[in-house]
Structure 1
Amino acid sequence: MIYTVTFNPALDYVVKVDHFTLGAVNRASREDIYCGGKGLNVSAVLAALGYESTALGFVAGFTGREILQRVGELGFRSDFIQVKKGMSRINVKLKSQEETELNGIGPEITSEDIVKLYDRLDGLKKGDVLVLSGSIPQSINDDIYERIMARLGGKGIRIVVDATKDLLINVLPYHPFLIKPNNHELGEMFHVTLHGIEEIIEYGKRLQEKGAENVLVSMAGDGAVLITEQGDVYRMGVPEGTVKNSVGAGDSMVAGFLAGYLENGSYEHALRLGSAAGSASAFSEGLAGKDEIMKLYEALSKEGF
């Protein structure tokens, strides 16, 4: 079973304004509401690809109830903890000449709530996959990823971590199965600016030296590169298409990678399906479905190093 953890899920209110003017009354030309949160995005794309998962995390208030209802309609299970204080976030994502985001705070998560999450995680078994992704709410200690991985250590659980900077660096001693920085985040971790694929591979291998098993580096229009636990390096380009949406593309890549890997254990296939899923969501208004993903999968070519 695959489990995803979203500490601070949200309702994403996505609104399009043809010509946004600061300080004036603007009228929307389109509006949509989605369930937001990196783990929820991973679960949704996994469901589209035919893989079951259970979403874990925290919800609160009337927005939390709406998230639960919408998750039920997306085709995957959830076992969220109901938090007493506050409400789940509403994130406003404004699309006009540029994309602008205003993200809410989220509910107050107590130590008792964390214990309930641990109880759920203690039920994971050998062979299960756990995806930890996204930022940590202010009400939770920022070492929560490390504590979860230490608690589950030795149980044979594959843990995927999609986070930035210190959150990612600090979990490396616990040997995550997969990490997915982008090329800019990779450079920031080592306080350098990376130039070219060879430097990206070099610094990706440094993350392996620190403990990561597999390193998947996304590079936007330059595709992605995967450094496997066996030391193999694969590069994938990007298909042709128009980028319509930057939200959820990285999460879609993680979901596609996991679906591909779990299908036959091939890292080449996993990278190709992950790249197709990430691109398909980038070319869609929301998260991509299976048909869009598989169409791009067929269009992609792989290049080994």
Structure 2
Amino acid sequence: MIYTITVNPAIDYVVQLPEMTLGSVNRLAHTAKLPGGKGINVSQILNDLEQPNVALGFVGGFTGAFVTDSLKAKGLNCQFTTIADDTRINVKIHAEQETELNGAGPEITDVEVDAFYQELANLTPDDVVVMSGSLTPSLPDSFYYDIIQKVKAAGANFVIDTTGEALKKTLPSQPLVVKPNNHELAAYYNTTFNSQADIIAAGQKMLAEGAQHVLISMAGDGGLLITPDHVYFSPAPKGHVINSVGAGDSMIGGFVGTFAKTHDAVESFRYGLACGSATAFSEDIATRAKIDEILPLIKIEDLTN
């Protein structure tokens, strides 16, 4: 089973208007209320790939009920932990410029955290736990690290979508895959890249530090997969980018979901790229039809010397 964790989900209240004037009454042309969260995005892709998964996290209040009900209507298997405080609301303003007003998140008590841990009490070596997104202010910085220890004790695999110092702390625990983009990878090693060879060398270094697979996204320049024995490259498929939000989550979903079925890193890379691109070419998280449309466009080359 694949478990996705969205610690701090939200209602994304999306509003559109031609222009916004501060200090005045503004009339909205269009509004939408959507359940948001990086782990939730991963679960939606896993559902598209018909890969069984469970969405975990914390929800509370009428806003949390909206998130849960909306996701169940989409067919997601949600086993969220109910908390006393309300799930946050993020406001996404699309006017002449895009502006976001993101809530910090609810207060989560120690008792509620203990209840959440019970959802991970029966992990097996066949399971994968995917951790994505920000923590609420009330949780300690060690929250994800504590989950990783539980995952490793069960012999299961984990994926954490993070960067910087937080990523450095997780590498010795051997995550199944890490997914930095080329800019994040350069920042991680406090360097600059002058060539694709430089990017590959940094990815191989990250592999040596503990990652089982390194997936590097390079936007319009394509993607790289680095394994212990091979380096693979794929150019970016051609298409009109509509929405980059969720593309990275979709890439993780495509890779992890396919790897759970096949244990084939190259095929997982292919699906990861297709899912990420399909979301980038869509208004929301990609559908299976869009993923299937993109898959034939993914061409993978083995760069191994």
Asked whether the two chains share a fold, i.e. TM above 0.5, the reply is yes
2:144 aligned partner = 145
Asked if 2 retains the 8 angstrom alpha-carbon contact of 1:215 and 1:226, the reply is yes
Q: Aligned to 1:297, which of 278, 295, 298?
A: 295
Q: Aligned to 1:248, which of 246, 249, 262?
A: 246
1:70 aligned partner = 70
1:262 aligned partner = 260
Moved more, 42-51 or 9-18: 9-18
User: Where does structure 1 lack aligned partners over 5 or more consecutive residues?
Assistant: none
1:203 aligned partner = 202
Asked if 2 retains the 8 angstrom alpha-carbon contact of 1:135 and 1:163, the reply is no
Q: CA deviation at 1:10?
A: 0.6
After TM superposition, list the pairs within 5 Å mapping 1:107-118 onto structure 2: 107-118=106-117
2:283 aligned partner = 285
Q: CA deviation at 1:70?
A: 0.8
Match for 1:145: what amino acid?
Y
Change (3 A) 1:65 1:49: same
How many angstroms apart in 1 are the aligned matches of 2:91 and 2:182? 27
How many angstroms apart in 2 are the aligned matches of 1:95 and 1:296? 28
User: Where does structure 2 lack aligned partners over 5 or more consecutive residues?
Assistant: none
How many angstroms apart in 2 are the aligned matches of 1:178 and 1:203? 15
Asked if 2 retains the 8 angstrom alpha-carbon contact of 1:146 and 1:174, the reply is no
How many angstroms apart in 2 are the aligned matches of 1:92 and 1:72? 23
How many angstroms apart in 2 are the aligned matches of 1:94 and 1:205? 40
How many angstroms apart in 2 are the aligned matches of 1:187 and 1:36? 29
Q: CA deviation at 1:211?
A: 1.3
Q: CA deviation at 1:158?
A: 1.5
Q: CA deviation at 1:97?
A: 4.4
SS at match of 1:225: strand
After TM superposition, list the pairs within 5 Å mapping 1:226-245 onto structure 2: 226-228=225-227, 230-245=228-243
Match for 1:260: what amino acid?
T
Change (3 A) 1:94 1:241: farther
2:46 aligned partner = 46
2:92 aligned partner = 93
Q: CA deviation at 1:40?
A: 0.4
Match for 2:291: what amino acid?
I
How many angstroms apart in 1 are the aligned matches of 2:4 and 2:157? 12
1:161 aligned partner = 160
Asked if 1 retains the 8 angstrom alpha-carbon contact of 2:64 and 2:86, the reply is yes
Moved more, 282-291 or 158-167: 158-167
Change (3 A) 1:105 1:283: same
Q: CA deviation at 1:95?
A: 2.9
After TM superposition, list the pairs within 5 Å mapping 1:185-204 onto structure 2: 185-204=184-203
Q: CA deviation at 1:272?
A: 1.1
How many angstroms apart in 2 are the aligned matches of 1:238 and 1:24? 44
2:132 aligned partner = 133
Q: In the TM superposition, what whole-angstrom CA distance separates every residue of 1:137-171 from its partner, at most 9, and x where no partner exists?
A: 11111111111111221422121111122221111
TM-score by length of 2: 0.94
SS at match of 1:32: strand
Asked if 2 retains the 8 angstrom alpha-carbon contact of 1:236 and 1:271, the reply is no
Asked if 1 retains the 8 angstrom alpha-carbon contact of 2:151 and 2:158, the reply is no
Change (3 A) 1:54 1:238: same
CA root-mean-square deviation: 1.7
Match for 2:292: what amino acid?
M
Q: CA deviation at 1:23?
A: 5.2
SS at match of 1:245: coil
SS at match of 1:139: coil
Q: CA deviation at 1:194?
A: 2.7
TM-score by length of 1: 0.94
Moved more, 261-270 or 142-151: 261-270
Asked if 2 retains the 8 angstrom alpha-carbon contact of 1:145 and 1:171, the reply is no
Alignment identity in percent? Answer: 42
Moved more, 45-54 or 284-293: 45-54
How many angstroms apart in 2 are the aligned matches of 1:11 and 1:274? 26
SS at match of 2:225: strand
2:118 aligned partner = 119
Match for 2:262: what amino acid?
N
Moved more, 13-22 or 170-179: 13-22
SS at match of 2:148: helix
